[in-house]
């Protein structure tokens, strides 16, 4: 597959693996990586021997989220919002694909890395994974956490994660219902995905896919109809450019002042 090499594709019938391969950047999502992931998904959909797509991150993380250095270097509001529009498009693709989707998560999943998990049909997570949603620090909003989160995690925990710097371990994500399968280490992720696929394939195919489509309807209403618009509109503000520049310069968000 042509591209910048930010995503690697591996096929192990009946699973197509899409691997984020910016390991040195903790698989931070820029428009290139997201675009390659979307193209990879479309190519896998064309194959008659692939019925599942599994995403994982290379190296020490699933994904550290949106690449704020790209946002800092953007020229104007439209270019600044392009990264987040591409993330929304990947979410839309996952909710519309004919493939059953699985996230295999280890290490850090932060910001867009954690937000993407709401779009998958299944999430397999390591016990010590760290899930964080720091969007509000950077002038943004977490679309899935603020729409689906109160119902899945409880309103108190969702508020804490969105606004007070909380995080979930993989074990907590499994216990609360965000994750489907819990494993002890990253080395066990691929085997757990294969085992999950085997269990799913015991079902009659048409009935299984009808179930998947019904389960996705709630996600579509929450992630796309409510959360996505808020994320993209906020991303175009100059405030977000200021926050991104602060990240590039100091790896910290600005000090925000309320009431001004």
- For the cut 70, the answer to whether the pLDDT of residue 73 exceeds it is yes
What the chain holds in terms of domains, given with CATH numbers, is 7-187+197-247 (3.90.226.10)
pTM: predicted TM-score of the whole model, two decimal places: 0.95
Q: What is the DSSP string of 130-168?
A: EEE--GGGGT---HHHHHTHHHHT-HHHHHHHHHS--EE
pLDDT tens digit sequence for 81-137: 999 999 999 999 999 999 999 999 999 999 999 999 999 999 999 999 999 999 999
Q: What is the mean pLDDT of residues 238-247?
A: 96
CA separation for the pair 174, 233 (Å, rounded):
32
Q: In terms of C-beta density within 10 A (0-12 exposed, 13-18 middle, 19 or more buried), how is residue 259 classed?
A: exposed
Helix (H) or strand (E) run with residue 12 in it: strand 7-12
How far is Cα 184 from Cα 179, in angstroms, rounded to an integer?
14
- The C-alpha atoms of residue 17 and residue 20 are separated, in whole angstroms, by 10
b vs e for 76-88, b when ≥16 Cβ sit within 10 Å of the residue's Cβ?
eeeebbbbbbbbb
Confirm if 224 and 91 have CB atoms less than 8 A apart.
yes
Q: What is the mean pLDDT of the chain?
A: 96
DSSP code of 64?
Answer: -
């Amino acid at each position: 597959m042509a591209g910048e090499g930010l995503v690697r594709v591996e096929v192990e019938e009946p699973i197509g693996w899409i691997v984020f391969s910016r390991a040195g950047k903790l698989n931070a999502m820029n428009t290139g990586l997201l675009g390659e992931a979307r193209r990879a998904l479309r190519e896998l959909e064309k194959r008659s021997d692939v019925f599942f797509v599994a995403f994982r991150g290379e190296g020490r993380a699933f994904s550290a989220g949106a690449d704020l250095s790209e946002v800092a270097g953007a020229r104007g509001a439209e270019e600044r919002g392009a990264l987040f529009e591409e993330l929304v498009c990947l979410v839309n693709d996952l909710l519309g694909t004919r493939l059953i989707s699985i996230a295999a998560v280890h290490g850090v999943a932060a910001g867009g890395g954690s937000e993407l998990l709401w779009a998958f049909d299944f999430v397999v997570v390591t016990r010590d994974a760290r899930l964080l949603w720091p969007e509000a620090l950077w002038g943004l909003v977490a679309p899935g956490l603020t729409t689906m989160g109160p119902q899945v995690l409880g309103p108190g925990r969702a508020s804490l994660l969105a606004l007070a710097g909380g995080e979930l371990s993989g074990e907590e994500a499994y216990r609360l219902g965000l994750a489907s399968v819990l494993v002890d280490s990253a080395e066990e992720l691929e085997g757990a995905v294969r085992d999950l696929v085997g269990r799913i394939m015991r079902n009659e195919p048409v009935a299984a896919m009808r179930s998947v489509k019904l389960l996705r309807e709630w996600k579509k209403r929450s992630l796309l109809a409510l959360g996505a618009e808020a994320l993209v509109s906020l991303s175009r503000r100059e405030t977000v450019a200021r926050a991104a520049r602060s990240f590039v310069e100091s790896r910290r968000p600005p000090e925000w002042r309320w009431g001004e």
